[in-house]
Amino acid sequence: EPEVTQTPSHQVTQMGQEVILRCVPISNHLYFYWYRQILGQKVEFLVSFYNNEISEKSEIFDDQFSVERPDGSNFTLKIRSTKLEDSAMYFCASKSGTGNTEAFFGQGTRLTVV
Amino acid sequence: AQSVTQLGSHVSVSEGALVLLRCNYSSSVPPYLFWYVQYPNQGLQLLLKYTTGATLVKGINGFEAEFKKSETSFHLTKPSAHMSDAAEYFCAVSESAADSWGKLQFGAGTQVVVTP
């Protein structure tokens, strides 16, 4: 069964460092998303990506965040200068279409900023 | 704008008892509604969804949910809880508008504990 894979499963980084979270979406999917879940809080939308550009982003997704799909398979989330409050579980998701189609989620990357 | 409210952050049910998880939503356009389950150390897995048509939808693992527009609700039920149902459950809403990019707005989640 096709699945979304995320690496690494756990990343520890020092405050101020750059991190890149990696995702391999399902191969025939066209819409890609990042969500995050701070411990004890709800899952929050960060950004959606379609046709090699950001289609929508939340207020959380400020200038320190960026996404790209460098090689047609990977979908990455970069945090330029990490802050303590960036510690969270980050989920990648992909869909074959918008609206009523199912979003398939990866297992998540737990980011800990120390 | 959309939002989702899940009543009860923790629910404890006995094995074999009814599971009822409550979800209310608000949406300025007709919504698409979803229930996801998250088992420990795993990602989010779709249980079921409502898009159009029949308001009672059946999902995996014996779960079902009913869309009630008048009550803006999408409660999740399962007649008989199993130990394997212990997990966190998330209700989510997505816009049905043609120019929507399909983002999901999640509720805060309900942790289900099943006791023998």
Q: What tens digit of pLDDT does each residue of B97-109 get?
A: 666 678 899 999 9
- Calpha distance B48→B18 (Å, rounded): 18
Inter-chain contact A43–B52, Cβ cutoff 8 Å? no
* Interval A26-74: pLDDT, tens: 998 999 999 999 988 889 999 999 999 999 999 999 999 999 998 878 9
What residues does B112 pair with on adjacent strands?
B11, B87
Contact B104 A98 (CB under 8 A): no
> Could you tell me which of B79, B95, B77, B61 has the C-alpha nearest to residue B23?
B77
Residue A14, token pair as written in the block: 């020092």
Residue A92 identity (one-letter amino acid): C
* A43, A56, A99: residue with CB nearest B90: A43
Residue contact A99–B94, C-beta within 8 A: yes
DSSP secondary-structure letter at B61?
G
Q: Grade residue A99 by pLDDT with cuts at 50, 70 and 90.
A: low
Contact present, A107 and A6 (Cβ < 8 Å): yes
- What lies within 8 Å, CB to CB, of B40 at 6+ separation is B87
Residues in chain B: 116
Taking residue A41's Cβ as centre, other Cβ atoms within 10 Å add up to: 12
Phi-psi region of A16 (alpha: psi -120 to 50; beta: other; left: phi over 0): left
Dihedral (C-alpha) A65, B93, A73, A55: value to the nearest 10 degrees? -50
Q: In this structure, what is the dihedral angle of CA atoms A44, A50, A56, A60, given to the nearest 10 degrees?
A: 40
How far away is chain B from the Cα of A14, in angstroms, using its nearest Cα? 23
Q: Residue B43 and residue A95: Cβ atoms within 8 Å?
A: no
Contact call for residues B94 and B36 (beta carbons, < 8 A):
no
Judged by CB atoms closer than 8 Å, whether chains meet at A91 and B44 is answered as: yes
Q: What is the mean pLDDT of residues A4-29?
A: 96
Residues of A in Cβ contact (< 8 Å) with B32? 99-100
**Candidates B101, B105, B110, B111, partner chain A, best to mutate (most A CBs within 10 A):** B101
Write a three-state SS string for A68-96: ECCCCCCEEEEECCCCHHHCEEEEEEEEC
Smallest Cβ–Cβ distance between A45 and the set B96, B100, B104 belongs to B104
Which among A31, A91, A107 is the nearest to B102, CB-wise? A31
Chain A residues with CB-CB distance to B101 below 8 A: 31, 48, 50, 55-56, 98
| Residue in A with minimal Cα distance to B108 | A42
Answer for the pair B20, B65: CB distance below 8 angstroms, yes or no.
no
Spell out, as residue ranges, where chain B has pLDDT lower than 50: none
The amino acid present at B2, given as its one-letter code, is: Q
